[in-house]
Structure 1
């Protein structure tokens, strides 16, 4: 196993990685890496941004490389991850929605960031070096929520038990107006027969999609569960925020303004700057609130188009974006308004798309001709009035003569 991982590492020795600044103290120097590589089980709901820290490395190692292999895959399928941007964090606004893994991750401060994760991102992630060394590893399980069902069946078997583990309720995502609280429940399995190399806090518990679960277990296809409830809290003052145990994202700060241009008829996902998976995020379109609880089984909001929804990663998704979606959007983070996004959705004509093929072309031409007819009528009316005035003036002068 180790030999095959090392062989894959040799194939990708010339890859981008993160190098520690020489003038900074190496915070990893005092933490020893395990002698036997084990995989830390980590489970997330699909759509969130996942950060996998490289918790340990030798002091002499100044550069790390991340490797990825899908669950149940062979070691020959191991891939080295490179963002082709060196040590620069990717701009999340330029990351396409639901695209390949290679276009949705970045390496920063030895940590691997994966944006808008999906079930296909589940697998084994190893932090290592270009010298056949491996320091820390993860067994990542990304669970996708079934859109039309939030039911969860507790399944018991003589060899294992399937259950759901809920996180604590989030804080109210808005203040001063009705808001919502959200909690996420992920699928886990309890068994005495889990693989010892893939570990969680409890060695007899692992997420349902973990490689620690034996392939012989015929697990039910259970997705995560998301629960939403309403809330209403007043907006605390600055002193109250300093006294309460809110995160730094809740502190009163000037709301930054972002400008975004996006072509029409393509998928757009807006992310709230600074949001993390365990934070409360809310979205407004100008003065209108977008609530998750108003999303029906078919994915409709009571006021907004069914094209617009909030996904499980707290992104505001337009599927697709239309010109009429242009406007001002606000995102809330931990109960405080965090950002203002001014969105402009513009018409983009492709190489094979003609102007007259646009669905609004006929209405636009009709509007132009109507405007031209009205202007022409007004011009003719002005000419007639001018001629009438001149004729009346000539008649008066002739009569006086």
Structure 2
């Protein structure tokens, strides 16, 4: 009996310290190649684990470092995720979750760059070399404003820096003039490497000039599909004071999906907000590609119904209102003194008048001496 208890205690200790997955690994299994991916900070980071949705034992491990020779792997998501982590690793674990066959880290930060491994028991299902590029260095350009994208940059005897573009996202609205965006990442081609070889800038392992991701926008127009209009969510009422800053966050929106905003049915476009015709104090969040709408100093003219759409479908509605403040008369000391002086003068005039009338009546009487005689 005591031997069984010892075995159970040993397994419990191993599970607590995250070593059970290592004991379950199958020796001699071929190593999967590392897949290099780039992401933008302040937005979700999503990694897919092939076949992970069919098992409840899938867990993700993370190694802090961008090279395959980095340090010890730690389990951050799944049934083997330990709870004793501290510092950045604990903070990363709190932002990580497993959804079907995917690991979602939301939001991702630059410090989350490193090695991510998906495992199912003793099997390694996927391995990723991840670089999270800094969204505060995001270069935004709009074709309709004549703005250009970043040009290639050659670092002598080191590398050539350029932007590797993703595909264009779908138009953010249909049936009217809309906009679409395209996300690009900083990539580097080593000077001694073949022409086709390139890696994310942060994974090259060289000191390079600072260069971040890019977001390119242009106008677009598509027809609406013949589908019945979806049920619109009820608007959420927001009360704001004059001069207060307000931020409207659109659920499910990020730099990776088409997002559009409108106010009282009128589109709020990047072109209007980035150009000279934009509303002063109104802006879309640049770091997340318009996932939130900001008003720096709310005024009475900002009242209205704001709606956000993700992938062409309404995600949220906000009714912005300013409470009506009753008009209060200001205390006027000068007016009060003037009224007081008028009252004193009136009472003085009445007193003097009554005294004169009494004196006149006294002098006209024959039987009563006048003025004391």
TM range (shorter): 0.5 to 0.7
Give SS of 1:294's match: helix
The residue that corresponds to 1:355 in the other structure is: none
Q: Is the 8 A contact 1:49 1:114 kept in 2?
A: yes
Deviation at 1:237, TM superposition (A): 2.9
The 5 A counterparts of 1:79-90 are: 79-82=74-77
2:224 to 221, 235, 257: 235
Deviation at 1:312, TM superposition (A): 3.3
Deviation at 1:154, TM superposition (A): 1.6
> What is the number of residues matched between the two proteins?
290
Q: CA distance change for structure 1 residues 254 and 310 in 2, over 3 Å: closer, same or farther? A: farther
> Could you give the per-residue CA deviations for residues 253-302 of structure 1, whole angstroms, max 9, x where no partner exists?
333446487999788562344x57553221123333222233449xx971
CA distance in 2: counterparts of 1:35 and 1:220, whole angstroms: 38
> Could you give the per-residue CA deviations for residues 104-134 of structure 1, whole angstroms, max 9, x where no partner exists?
33211142112233323322212235x6654
> Could you give the per-residue CA deviations for residues 310-333 of structure 1, whole angstroms, max 9, x where no partner exists?
543441144879697775332233
Give SS of 1:293's match: helix
Deviation at 1:36, TM superposition (A): 0.9
TM-score normalized by structure 2? 0.60
Deviation at 1:58, TM superposition (A): 12
Give SS of 1:112's match: strand
Larger of the two Rg values belongs to structure: 2
The residue that corresponds to 1:138 in the other structure is: 128
Q: Is the 8 A contact 1:268 1:321 kept in 2?
A: no
CA distance in 1: counterparts of 2:237 and 2:61, whole angstroms: 33
Deviation at 1:52, TM superposition (A): 0.9
**CA RMSD of superposed structures (Å):** 4.7
TM-score normalized by structure 1? 0.56
Give 5+ residue unaligned stretches, structure 2.
Answer: 1-13, 22-27, 82-90, 142-148, 333-373
Deviation larger for 148-157 or 41-50? 148-157
Q: CA distance change for structure 1 residues 319 and 368 in 2, over 3 Å: closer, same or farther? A: closer
The residue that corresponds to 1:284 in the other structure is: 262
The residue that corresponds to 2:116 in the other structure is: 125
Q: Is the 8 A contact 1:54 1:111 kept in 2?
A: yes
Q: Is the 8 A contact 2:306 2:320 kept in 1?
A: no
Q: Is the 8 A contact 2:246 2:294 kept in 1?
A: yes
> Could you give the per-residue CA deviations for residues 157-196 of structure 1, whole angstroms, max 9, x where no partner exists?
44533221222333321223331121122111224878xx
CA distance in 2: counterparts of 1:120 and 1:102, whole angstroms: 13
Q: Is the 8 A contact 1:258 1:339 kept in 2?
A: no
Q: CA distance change for structure 1 residues 191 and 177 in 2, over 3 Å: closer, same or farther? A: same
The residue that corresponds to 2:18 in the other structure is: 12
The residue that corresponds to 1:164 in the other structure is: 163
Q: Is the 8 A contact 1:34 1:135 kept in 2?
A: no
Q: CA distance change for structure 1 residues 263 and 144 in 2, over 3 Å: closer, same or farther? A: farther
Q: Is the 8 A contact 1:44 1:142 kept in 2?
A: yes
> Could you give the per-residue CA deviations for residues 337-367 of structure 1, whole angstroms, max 9, x where no partner exists?
4234235799xxxxxxxxxxxxx9xx96xx4
Using CA pairs below 8 Å that are at least 6 residues apart, which structure has the higher relative contact order?
1
> Could you give the per-residue CA deviations for residues 3-57 of structure 1, whole angstroms, max 9, x where no partner exists?
xxxxx99723699xxxxxxxxxxxxxxxxx9711432111123343232111256
The residue that corresponds to 1:302 in the other structure is: 278
Deviation at 1:221, TM superposition (A): 1.6
The 5 A counterparts of 1:342-353 are: 342=318
